[in-house]
Structure 1
Amino acid sequence: FFIGFPLLLLAYLMNQGGLTKRGRVMEGIFWFVLLPLIFVLILSMANLSWDELAVRSWCGREMLNGSILVFALMHPIEFVWFYRGDMKDGPIRMRSFAGLMILFLGVFASTVGSLGKKLTMVDPEPVMSMAQGVAMPGGIMARLDLFLIAFWIVGVFCVFSGYLFYGNESIKHAFSKGRIVGLSLSYGGIYVISPWIMTTFATWIRRYFFVFIYGNLVIGLFFPLILFLMWRKEQKDEKI
């Protein structure tokens, strides 16, 4: 209650201001968290083993399976966060998207280069282990993984509030009279079922990880399509 309710209230107040207000808040949070993460990645270069990053063999099937899994883990709905509606600068900001891909590649290279391929594969939290092995010059701070813990906490809030914002925007456009119902079901529903999500559902995800990930991928692709078709139908009905 003391953590979830304030976060839910903050997400609601932020999202009610529309895309511009949400963008301003996310922009401030983004730089507050991203700069320490980049600092950790730069310091990790001292521990890199370029031999571990060398590619000595390549399998097309493994590459395809890995690419699909990465796409499923990111979730296609998250690509909507790079969409800016009818803003004058255009719908998609590819420079932001490319920057995110470079950041992911940097985390991957720092982790594999620091821990090695074998340890990265068996370690349940390899990125945190990479940060724990990074040393700050002068020994000012011993545990740089604190930066990544902060990054994860704020990142969860950004993802969680983003789903609520775009989910409610979709419901609002698909159902002209469904705004209040959508807000009640989304914000209130998450608050009510969060204890179940954190316990029973989390255990189920760990047990059936791939079923959840790929099921989530299918829902993420078809649910927005269904809402879009319903919106198109409503637009046609209004014209008639």
Structure 2
Amino acid sequence: MCAMYWQLNDVWAAPTWSTLDFDLRWKIGHHFVQRSFAPLILSMFLDSNGRFRLWAVSDLLVPVQNANVRLSLFYLRGGLSPIFTGEVSVAIILPLSSQEISLPNWPSFASATDFSYDEGIYLLIADLIGSNGDFLSPQAVLWPDRLSRAGLYGNATISGLRDGPNGTYSVDITADDVLPLLWLDLSDAFKKANPEVLFFFEENAFPATSPRHSATLRLATNPKRVQICKNDVILTVL
């Protein structure tokens, strides 16, 4: 694991497996790696028999008790309301463990997932929620094996940019449908004019499953105190 982390964070001036580019900016893969290294995650997949499997993986030294897993199944190009929602109670997640979560026999869920998942028309979201209502892990997403070309799913726009604490910015996003992936970046013109500004978005490379989302833009280095404006932020939608 340490070797993997080194490889992903090493910087090469050539095509590479690194998830950081030569200017230390995060590539899309770095956000996935960051989420996968969280101390508590959900992992889900379809096995070789097409059966849905769900696991909780914990690196914590203490147990997690009385949690709930909330599942939401979306039909791409079918609006922002899920076609199925359900919750599973998890009495305990043991420390330093990987344990499968037993799912109830939901007829509506079984019928909705009785498909070849490579058709590219469904998106499944899983959230791990504590007894106090807090989210305990990064949101888990099961994407289709294949996705249609960009532009077929819906639209999203940057609706606002607000100053935040400690030199951060809050980027407001509005979506009109479920979108498999949103990618935020600063424009090429801004990066060319301000090569000394090192930045990253704390929330990036995520699906849109609600009409409004917010992401935090953090400037790691900004020696000239350059101000970011709304037109400097670009949004790519898949």
| TMscore range, shorter length | under 0.3
More helix by share: 1
- Higher relative strand content: 2
Bigger RCO of structures 1 and 2 (CA < 8 A, at least 6 apart): 1
Q: TM-score, normalised by structure 1?
A: 0.21
What is the TM-score normalised by the length of structure 2?
0.21
